[in-house]
Structure 1
Amino acid sequence: MTDATITAATLGSARATEDRMYRRITWRLIPFLMFCYVAAYLDRVNIGFAKLQMLDDLKFSETVYGLGAGVFFIGYFLFEVPSNLVMQRVGAKIWIARIMITWGVISAGFSLVSTPTQYYVLRFLLGAAEAGFYPGVIFYLMSWYPAHRRSQIIALFMVAIPVAGIIGGPLSGWIMQAFNGAHGMAGWKWMFIIEAVPSLVLGVMTLFFLDNNPSQAKWLTPEQKAHIQRALEIPVRAHARILSTVGNVFSDPRMLLLAVIYFCVIMGQYGLTFWMPTLIKASGVQGVVNIGLLSAIPYGVAVIAMLSFGRSSDRTGERRWHLIVPMLMGAVGYTIAALAGHNVPLALVGLSLAAAGVMTPGPLFWALPSAFLVGSAAAAGVAAINAFAGLAGFVSPYFIGWLRDLTQSSTIAMYVSAVVLVIGAGLILLIPAKLVNR
């Protein structure tokens, strides 16, 4: 046996050992974090289903609904960077538990809403309470996985978004129909109360289940902890200008470009998640349960697309086109949905393509800033990009609500969402491939 053969066999064995270790980490962390994000996302977007009853009960306009849906992201924007920096200081376990318990209580409080002002205030508080969860988890995963493993892992975590749609649509529709009138309360009020419970339970469980970082994980051996630390210390891009301090983050032009790109991604995403039930109803579907069941179809397609693109991106090391292609898919999907009218099958095809296109770029995007962010700059940078892009969550539902009131149709709004995705895809080409591709 030659030295080269022995070396190859040794490297292969080491890689297999490393793969087993990361699989163990994944099975330990990702399912629990996914459950947490499903609960978070459900509490964030179930307002889209509540809208089907709430607007008539409270006499709210589409503009009032859209503004309230978007106000969430003002609170999110203001508190996101501070939240992530606090998490870095106190640890993920305590801070994620705090976030989940707080937002569960506030989400249940929506059952008491009776005026637009109360609606706006609670949406703002929900955003402030949740701020830091998503970027916090992204930063948390960056402290466990080296860069070449992150796209697939973050994609697996973010599958929680369409899973929330798959579960939340039928569940929300069923609760609103089955509990409507129970103890004198409308179905949409029961929905907010019942769907807040998982967040509260998981928040308490976080205190007992999560480890702040690999060094505190008692289920890892000292050798495994050392291996993870060495892997994280390897420079992601030897030729890239690495940012390691908070001050660097806010003065680097690359951060602004990335923030604008992610803004376009989120603009397309929330145009769908907040208005999916309304768009399906507009195609001619009647009944909240039927709308909920059909809304699960686009989210199911999105799960397949997210996992496929994430696996392909990590395997090939290519990042840019793995972002551009799904964003263009999303633009095409919005266009088809806009043209579908009352053709339910065609509308579902368009919405499915749009869902796959707007949800797939999210996890893949984070491979870009991780190419040059480390340490406290990573905590601040991830939060800053997500906070700026989160403003799209304010702009998108409010703007779409305004367009619907103005035109009495969703068609123009879907065309606008398609154009925004095309612009974002074009901006990705401004990022040098050598910076982000492996």
Structure 2
Amino acid sequence: MSATAAPAVERSAIKKIAVRLVPFVALMFFVNYLDRTAISFAEPNGMGQDLGLTAAQFGLASGVFFIGYIVLEVPSNMALHKFGARRWLARIMISWGVVSLLFTWVQSSGQLYSLRFLLGVAEAGFFPGAILFLSQWVPARHRTKILALFYLAQPLTTVIGAPLAGWLINQHGAFLGLEGWRFMFLGVSIPAIVLGVVAWFYLIDRPADAKWLTQAEKDWLTAELARENTAKTDGTDGADGKAQGGQDSHGSHGKAALKAAFTSGRVWTLAVIYFGFIYGLYALAFFLPTIIKGFEEQYDTSFDVLQTGLITAIPYLPAAIVLFFWSRHATRHGLRSWHIAGPAVVGGLSIPLALYMGSPAATIAVITVTACAIFAALPTFWSLPSQFLTGAAAAAGIALINTAGNIAGFAAGYITGWLKDFSGTYYLPLFLVGAFMLLSAMLMLRLSAREGKGPRTPEGSTGPTGSAGSTGSVVAEGAPSAPQPLAPPATGR
């Protein structure tokens, strides 16, 4: 391919991927997150009263989901690496849709705990699997942009999903005499099953099999991803300099890559950083509707179910906008430690501040700042593992990092509820959220300072731009100077 033709082919290939694949995978993520957090809308709108739940019991029900998810997270992502994303992501969606549907008929706290656990088992591996799948389609310099477009689904789930949940809950008795919260579970479960069936036929495991790409685009993507993978595997594994084994996940090399991911200090540091962000995310996701319900007593006001849903959505629309432009800045100017540490500091300081506001509007305004901070950092954070992981090591490393987030999801739900029952207010649990986010900021800066001597390449470029020792680059020391892939192209599955 000529030098003049290559940029045009690159632009057209990335644009097609952004239009054909990313919206569909983002829609899957939208439904995934809505099903996962639907319990937060059900609890203050009849479920808590009907099942006799305390705040601690609701927190346990919210968090027990993550136990099943944690147990099967790494095995599920390794299975996706083996069987291909099309089959595995479709299987996950159908499984979790069926389990989510069963919440319609839950009758006790024990049944609620059991179904939440099974929902975690069914969903295990979806998010890291989606990250891994998208990474197999785009070169590293385009990855932050693509992941940001994918990640927009999460805040938009609340922007759209909260009012939708409110509308479904308002249909009390309209279908088979179901209570509103039961009808909501029914309404948000069916799309997961439908999307799972569609995904089986719609998704494609590798660029070479995409009929909607021209031959030139297929050749460019395959060659570019192979080049990046070769640079990664030529002498280093990408996990703290140990022998690379990502090229064959089924033999001894695959086992070496798996071991390298699990013994990488960088992977574990990133896991703890991610823990802090996800602790804050799920503390808000599970308890914000309940906190808004508490405005009635605190400020002598009242909101109906639909109004509560709309208020819950307020922080997430600005968060989606900030996520897009923050990730765009990181893509254009190069990912730096402050792209992640800065939002962590803002979120850590703002969320306890919300407790001292004198009105519902002021409280929601401060919570909006917290939501913007969390979502600004998340897609840029997920660009980091690509700097030193590939192949089976990427599948295991990404799943391990995401597992830490799921531990945070369990901890945030249960600890926040327990501390609320213990102290009678949300002061103590929200101060704890702030502390975890500040810890994430400190670890990010420490990681950057320790490994800032390595070369830096902005994701929008194709070559080194000089030392990052004084500028806070997050590229690991000893990593190749060219942009690195999160995983190699899929291998014919």
Matched residue, 1:366: 382
Matched residue, 1:188: 181
Distance 2:417 2:172 in 1: 28
Q: Are residues 1:299 and 2:333 paired?
A: no
- Tell me the TM-score normalised to structure 1 length: 0.93
Contact 1:302 1:360 in 2 (8 A): yes
Q: Are residues 1:55 and 2:71 paired?
A: no
In structure 1, the gaps of 5 or more residues are 1-9
Contact 1:319 1:364 in 2 (8 A): no
1:137-156 alignment runs, 5 A limit: 137-156=130-149
Q: Are residues 1:430 and 2:442 paired?
A: no
Q: Are residues 1:421 and 2:437 paired?
A: yes
Distance 2:271 2:405 in 1: 6
Distance 1:282 1:56 in 2: 15
Pick from 269, 289, 311 the counterpart of residue 281 of structure 2: 269
Distance 2:347 2:236 in 1: 31
Identify, as 1 or 2, the structure richer in helix.
1
Distance 2:356 2:35 in 1: 31
Alpha-carbon spacing, 1:296–1:95, altered in 2? closer, same or farther (3 Å): same
Q: Are residues 1:396 and 2:412 paired?
A: yes
What's the offset of the Cα at 1:170?
Answer: 0.5
What's the offset of the Cα at 1:228?
Answer: 1.4
Matched residue, 2:334: 317
1:96-135 alignment runs, 5 A limit: 96-135=89-128
Q: Are residues 1:408 and 2:424 paired?
A: yes
The amino acid of 1:271's aligned partner reads A
What's the offset of the Cα at 1:239?
Answer: 10
Distance 1:240 1:413 in 2: 43
What's the offset of the Cα at 1:423?
Answer: 0.7
What's the offset of the Cα at 1:253?
Answer: 1.2
Matched residue, 1:252: 264
Tell me whether 384-393 or 178-187 shows the greater mean CA deviation.
Answer: 178-187
Alpha-carbon spacing, 1:237–1:335, altered in 2? closer, same or farther (3 Å): farther
What's the offset of the Cα at 1:288?
Answer: 1.5
Look up the SS of the partner of 2:213 in the other structure: coil
Length, aligned pairs only: 428
Question: How large is the Cα RMSD of the aligned pairs?
Answer: 1.9
Matched residue, 1:73: 66
What's the offset of the Cα at 1:12?
Answer: 6.6
The amino acid of 2:34's aligned partner reads L
What's the offset of the Cα at 1:319?
Answer: 3.0
Tell me whether 197-206 or 283-292 shows the greater mean CA deviation.
Answer: 283-292
- Tell me the TM-score normalised to structure 2 length: 0.83
Contact 1:42 1:164 in 2 (8 A): yes
Matched residue, 1:334: 351
Q: Are residues 1:14 and 2:6 paired?
A: yes
Q: Percent identity?
A: 39
Matched residue, 1:227: 220
Alpha-carbon spacing, 1:297–1:220, altered in 2? closer, same or farther (3 Å): same
What's the offset of the Cα at 1:13?
Answer: 5.5
Contact 1:333 1:352 in 2 (8 A): no
Contact 1:404 1:410 in 2 (8 A): yes
Look up the SS of the partner of 1:429 in the other structure: helix
Look up the SS of the partner of 1:86 in the other structure: helix
Pick from 10, 15, 23 the counterpart of residue 23 of structure 1: 15
Distance 1:240 1:424 in 2: 28
Matched residue, 2:87: 94
Contact 1:332 1:350 in 2 (8 A): no
